Amino acid sequence: MTTNSDPRPAYRSALAWAEEKVRGVDAATLDQPTPCSEYDVRALLGHLVATVVRARVIAEGGDPATMPVVITGVPDDGWSAELAAAIDKAMAAWSDDTVLDREVTVPWGRVPGRQAIWGYLNEALVHGWDLAVATGQDSEADPGLAEAGLAAGHEILPATFRGGPVPFAEVVTSAPDAGPTERLANWAGHRR
C-alpha cells in the first residue's frame, strides 16, 4: 500500500479500531496520563474526535487550523457517540472520488487528498494506541493496517521533518518485540 492508493477503506478500518478503544475507556481512567504527553485520557478523547472533524473539514475544502485541536464539553459517557457521529460525517465528506486527487490544506502544508487521509489514518492508529496503553487495552491494531500506516508515515512524515507546524516529537527507538502499531506510535514520537 502506498500513499497513491485509495486510503478510505484503510482509514475507515483505523477509525473502527480507534472507536473500539474509545468504547473500552472506563470513566475511572479519564484523568490518567497517556503516552501522548500533552493529554490525559479525557483530553486525548477530545483530540481524537477533533482529528476526525479536521479530516472532514479538509475534505470539504476548508482549513483544519480553523478547527479546535481538542473537542471539549462532551459528557464523560458521550465520547463514543461523539466519535461515531464525527466518523459518519467525515466518511461522507470523503465519499467523492475527486477529493482524493484535489489539493487540500493540512496542518503540514498542501497535499493531495489521499495523502491527507493517510496522515489522519495514522492519527487514528497512534491515538488509538495511546488510549489503549493508557487504559490497559490491547494496543495492537490489525498488523496489515498498522504496517500500511507505518509505510505511509515514513513517506509523509520523514524523521527529519519534526517541529514547527508538524507537532511530532523525535522518532522513538522501538523495542525489539514492538508490534507494528507500537512502531507507528514510536515513529510519531510516542513511547510507553
Identity of residue 41: V
Please provide residue 136's backbone torsions phi and psi, each rounded to the nearest 5 degrees.
75, 25
What domains, with CATH codes, occur in the chain? 8-139 (1.20.120.450)
- Tell me how long the chain is: 192
Non-local CB neighbours of 175 within 8 Å, separated by 6+ positions: 182
pLDDT in tens, 80-138: 999 999 999 999 999 999 999 999 999 878 999 999 999 999 999 999 999 999 999 99
Q: Is the pTM of this model over 0.75?
A: yes
Among 87, 81, 147, CA closest to 118? 147
Enter the C-alpha cell of residue 151: 509505510
For residue 163, pLDDT beyond 80: no
